[in-house]
Amino acid sequence: MNEAIKNLEPKSVWNYFAQLNAVPRASKKEEQVIEFMKNFGTELGLETLEDEVGNVIIRKPATKGMEDRKTIVMQSHLDMVHQKNNDTDFDFDTQGIEMYVDGDWVRAKGTTLGADNGLGVATIMAILKSTDIPHPAIEALFTIDEETGMTGAMGLKGGVLKGEILLNLDTEEDDEIGVGCAGGVDVTAIGTYKQVAPAGNIAFEIQLKGLQGGHSGMDIHKGLGNANKLMNRLLFATEGLMEIAEVNGGSLRNAIPRESVVKVVVQQEKQDAFKRAFDAMKSEILLEYKYSDPNLFIELNETLLPSNVMEPTAQTSFVRAVQGAHNGVYRMSPAIEDLVEASNNLAKIRVKDGQIKLECLTRSSVESSKEDVANSLKSVFELAGYQVTFSGAYPGWAPNMESPILKVMDEIYTSMNGEKAHVAACHAGLECGILGRNYPGMDMISFGPTIKGAHSPDERASISSTQKFWSYIKEILQHIPHRS
């Protein structure tokens, strides 16, 4: 299966992508892929080092005739988002990603593909290995834990890199040159509740699954269903007719939640009214999302009666807090057309054994609006009696429309494709903003091949786009400006 991937063009890129995808590389579990990358650099005879936090840096001298060009940093992150379909039997800690070709797309069987940011990593590996591609001196920077905390970028100390230009290979549209991105902050609410014996005698499990999901930054404007918010609509509609025992929704802060499972208890005499209210809301939700999430599935099944449920006052506060918490686009940018300025993803909800935990990822390209969204969430959760913390904050990347490397890349793209590239900022959290704090003079650009459905099992990478990207990056390397 993965052998077919290795035979795609450009073979060097797809071969390294297949090798990389054979190595488990979950965020915060990058030990194996760090060793993989260090061995790769060492076997090439190139200077290879691992910094204090686990980033891997490989240095390759300029090819003959390119010694007077500016040193470039080529950067991608080693970790990938691990998501799988509910019916997929797969162990991300031990298994390599199972890939297949579907027309112009490379996909994975029931899991995320890891093209974000594996194709960037594989491209850099192919250039480091090459003997026939002209290029200036290269510092290849492979960061860790981009997806769950930007730990690698945050931990990279100033002075380690000598390059003057950074090429970040983590943009997901091949006609786009990225010049800015959003910052973010994690908003976490923690609460407790008194457990009581259920008044009812019939237990139900509600399953909500089959949502499209996706990247909580790049896809947040698409109106896709959020499993936590949709499940809460069902709970809100039936609140006086049931008791909540457990809630388990979402899995990753930077992925739009695709699934939620809830256990409730209903009194015998309220069963018919509960089912009527449940079915009415279910029909409304399925109708609203039949175009954006056609595979949405909501099911109600009897289950074993739990020993405890939330006491009524705590349940009311919880349901209203989730109902009131903002999810989705908060503000569109007034400065850049079609750019989301601020948003929130209500990513994870856990209710069990007297403990409540809600996790959000708030993003914005403007620091003040990021604070506004975070504070609005804090206000809602504190009114419910929860303790709220902000953590993992990282800065945005302010666009520099006078960037010298932007001018070079824009001209090359137009020459190669007969049309101008789309120069834009994105609503994802790229590492450029963080790296820029310790390397403030570095000229930075982000670009990459077309990848769809990142952070979901629908993730797919375009084969033709990867070929286009490969030709583009080789041309860029030949036109890096001379040192001053």
Least confidently predicted of 118-132, 193-207, 234-248, 388-402? 388-402
- Distance (Å, rounded) from C-alpha 155 to C-alpha 169? 19
Residue 1 predicted with pLDDT over 70: no
* pLDDT-derived band at 4, boundaries 50, 70, 90: confident
Span 92-141, pLDDT tens digits: 999 999 999 999 999 999 999 999 999 999 999 999 999 999 999 999 99
* pLDDT-derived band at 459, boundaries 50, 70, 90: very high
- Distance (Å, rounded) from C-alpha 41 to C-alpha 125? 9
Catalytic residue numbers read 79, 146
Q: What is the CATH number of domain 2-181+396-478?
A: 3.40.630.10
Least confidently predicted of 92-106, 176-190, 205-219, 422-436? 422-436
Q: List, in order, residues 6 or more apart from 218 with CB less than 8 Å away.
A: 172, 426, 427, 428, 454
Span 268-304, pLDDT tens digits: 999 999 999 999 999 999 999 999 999 999 999 999 9
Q: Indicate the domain borders of the chain.
A: 2-181+396-478, 185-394
Amino acid at 120: G
Its pTM stands at 0.78
Mean pLDDT of 424-428: 88
End-to-end CA gap in the chain: 49
Q: What is the CATH number of domain 185-394?
A: 3.30.70.360
